[in-house]
């Protein structure tokens, strides 16, 4: 079973992909179009040309997972874009909103944690 955790890297392919592609074809898109290693452990998100389906490709250390969601009616109204880029990185909670058909950019969450450097005190 795959779980989306806050630590996972989620990369969205901005351009539509031919959904006749399976695991090998999408892994090739990761390498050749996104210039990213499909074995990196990241989740790669793709959509079809009509905007009615999404595929997610992920490698878990043993093999690939390929998940697909196709809407029973309508289209995904929002799709991430990035000026001059073929991919866009999303946070885990943004992926959940995207999969529910929402606008991932309109969501807000707690700020991403970052390491704070220790301050050295100087006594004068």
- Tens digits of per-residue pLDDT, 96-123? 888 888 887 777 666 666 667 777 666 6
Cα dihedral value 42, 43, 48, 51, nearest 10: -130
Confidence of residue 48 (pLDDT cuts 50, 70, 90): very high
Decide: 97 and 34 in contact? Cβ < 8 Å.
Answer: no
């Amino acid at each position: 079973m795959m779980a989306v955790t806050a630590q996972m890297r989620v990369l969205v392919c901005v351009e539509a992909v031919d959904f006749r592609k399976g695991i090998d074809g999408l892994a090739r898109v990761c390498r050749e179009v996104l210039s990213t290693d499909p074995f990196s452990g990241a989740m790669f998100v793709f959509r079809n040309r009509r905007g009615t389906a999404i595929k997610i490709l992920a490698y878990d250390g043993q093999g690939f997972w390929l998940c697909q969601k196709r809407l029973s009616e309508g289209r995904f109204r929002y799709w991430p874009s990035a000026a001059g880029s073929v991919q866009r990185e999303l946070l885990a909670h943004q992926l959940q909103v995207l999969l529910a058909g929402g606008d991932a950019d309109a969501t807000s969450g707690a700020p991403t944690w970052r390491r704070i450097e220790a301050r050295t005190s100087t006594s004068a």
